[in-house]
Structure 1
Amino acid sequence: MRTGIVYGGNGALGSAILKHLKSEGWTTISVDAQKSPLATHSVELDISAGLKEQGKSVLDKLRANIDDAYDVDAIICAAGGWAGGNAGSESLFDSVEAMYKQSVYSSVVASHVASKKLKNDDKGLLVLVGAAPAVGPTPGMIGYGVAKAAVHHLAKSMADTPSSGLPEHAKVVALLPVTLDTPGNRTAMPTADTTTWTPLADVAEQIVSWCKVGLSVPSGSLVKVATKNGKTSFTVV
């Protein structure tokens, strides 16, 4: 039986990925602040802890659920968030700190776990989530943009194996959604045109497909996720 770790398993995207993995018969482990009812096992994370403490705690707890002699097939970091504001905003420093904790901390910890527990073959896959807008300037959402750009850089760096610490034959990819169709986005943007928002099931299906048959794009790719006329495309940028 194949095993996948989903970092941020209680979020909208993480939950969708867990559901899809479960439907394919995978053993799943959720890493989040609370247990996931969808996962086979859950690792509870203290999100108030510093980066070093989070990394050590997550790895220690995962080792309690996974035999040291056994490596996992996929590690998917679906954690993240959004915050607006430019460099003059009163909330600038808070938003940058929050975005780094939600997107960069989680991606760094997931990458560290991958260096220790991901299978060393061409189907061993680390998935990070960036953002399509962060490929260019994000003047109205500085914290979000710099955090997601850091995730993009991390994905490219992790692909340089084994120098990056990732197992030599494992792969990494970063998904860059334009807008995901999540409950949070619908609440925040009630009048938006949701026909161009990407269904979570489409993202989950693509990730699981890569996990099953291998990555179909070069390792380290940044893959834009966009939806138009009900069809979702995955394009290397």
Structure 2
Amino acid sequence: MEAAVRHVVITGAAGALGRAVASRFAGEGCRLALIDHKLQHLQSVFAHPDADGGMLLREADVTSGSAMAATGAEILDTFGAVDVVVHVAGGFEMGEATHAISRESWTRMMDLNAWSFIAVTRPFIPAMLARGSGKVIAVTARSASAGVASMGAYCASKSALQRLVESLSREVRGAGINVNSIAPGVLDTPANRRDMPNADPSQWVSTGSAARMVALLASEAAAAVHGQHLVLDGLS
């Protein structure tokens, strides 16, 4: 009997990790709904979406509840069901010393890295609950476990995201939904190579490795894994 095609939603899909995750699931024959904050970014990366709706490219602000509600409803209407939500979108910035963090910096990091998880999952969790199955994977960070100098707002926002992952997991695991995250150290991306030219990227985590861990958490091999954060250290 042929396995059913899975339907996967990926936010931040035009970024380096988002592209790797999308490639991984596309290679498994999944139908993809790819979300990014600029449609032109998606179109430049995914030039040939399937005409039959096998790949949807959608522009949406993941920090906007109304934008995600509309986008989520459209995806569910097109696909009929969503099996996996991978929330890659987020933000990073070096900031002020903790005692000098600005309200603007704090709000920006919390919106991008914590509130966005609520906005993104809200349209899809009710449908997963009705079906009694689903996988949600967030991208948190190794630095969510401890503070780092000049990264107070970022670390706090990723820590908040991990607490949201754990809380949602506690709420839905009994209904057959797995909620987890990957928590990478430094990812080997063009942006990180540009920003850290003197570092050794061979010590970092490749986007391919991170995508494989996302795929593992989305598979039946992880059916017993709930509310966990798989730390990807690389060699750093």
The TM-score by the shorter chain falls in which range?
0.7 to 0.9
Is the contact made by 2:180 and 2:217 (CA closer than 8 Å) also made in structure 1? no
Point out the more displaced range, 80-89 or 18-27: 80-89
Equivalence for 1:234: none
Q: Percent identity?
A: 21
In 2, Cα distance between the equivalents of 1:208 and 1:56? Answer: 25
Residues 1:131 and 1:11: Cα distance change in structure 2 (over 3 Å): same
2:73–2:123 CA contact under 8 A, matched in 1: no
Q: CA deviation at 1:209?
A: 2.8
What is the distance in 1 between the residues matched to 2:181 and 2:217?
Answer: 12
Question: 1:84 touches 1:95 (CA, 8 Å); kept in 2?
Answer: no
Which of 190, 203, 218 is the equivalent residue of 1:183? 190
> What's the counterpart of residue 197 of structure 1?
204
Aligned counterpart, 2:8: 4
Q: Which residue of 2 aligns with 1:158?
A: 168
Over residues 149-193 of structure 1, what are the superposed CA-to-partner deviations in whole Å (9 max), with x where a residue is unaligned?
11000011011134xxx7711101111111111111111111112
The separation in 1 between residues aligned to 2:36 and 2:103, in whole angstroms, is: 24
For the 8 Å contact 2:7–2:79, the answer to whether it is kept is: no
Residue of structure 1 equivalent to 2:52:
none
Task: Give distance in 1, aligned partners of 2:224 and 2:230.
Answer: 9
TM-align CA RMSD: 2.2
**Residues of 1 paired with 2:159 and 2:206: CA distance?**
23
Structure 2 counterpart SS, 1:223: strand
Displacement of 1:112 after TM fit?
1.4
Q: What pairs with 1:66-215 in structure 2 (closer than 5 Å)?
A: 66-67=79-80, 71-85=81-95, 86-89=97-100, 92-118=102-128, 120-121=132-133, 124-162=134-172, 168-215=175-222
For 1:26 and 1:88, locate their aligned partners in 2 and report how far apart those are by CA, in whole Å: 46
1:62-107, CA deviations, whole angstroms, 9 ceiling, x for partnerless residues?
Answer: 234233xxx2221000011211122344x63332222122212321
TM-score (norm 2): 0.83
- Output one character per residue of 1:21-77: Cα deviation in whole Å (capped at 9) or x when no partner: 111111000121233243610221146xx633233233233234233xxx2221000
CA distance in 1, matches of 2:86, 2:113: 13
Q: CA deviation at 1:227?
A: 0.8
Length-normalised TM-score, structure 1: 0.83
* 3-state SS of paired residue (1:43): strand
Q: Secondary structure at the match of 1:220?
A: coil
Matching residue's letter, 1:193: D
Deviation, 1:213, is 2.9
| In 2: Cα distance, 1:72 partner to 1:167 partner | 18
Equivalent residue number for residue 233 of structure 1: none
Amino acid at match of 1:152: Q
More helix by share: 2
Q: Distance in 2 between matches of 1:213 and 1:116?
A: 21
Aligned length: 218
Equivalent in the alignment of 1:43: 58
CA gap of 1:186–1:216, structure 2 versus 1, over 3 A, is farther
Say if 2:137 and 2:218, in contact at 8 Å, map to a contact too: no
Paired position in structure 2 for 1:62: 75
| Counterpart-to-counterpart distance in 1, 2:24 and 2:183 | 20
**Following the alignment from structure 1 to structure 2, what is the Cα–Cα distance between the partners of residues 23 and 139?**
40
Structure 1 residues 149, 101: closer, same or farther in 2, change over 3 A? same
Q: Say if 1:7 and 1:106, in contact at 8 Å, map to a contact too.
A: no
5+ residue gaps, structure 1, are 230-237
Matches of 2:105 and 2:203 in 1, distance apart?
A: 26
Give the SS at the match of 1:228.
coil
- Shift of the alpha carbon at 1:211? 2.1
Unaligned runs of 5+ residues in structure 2 are 50-54
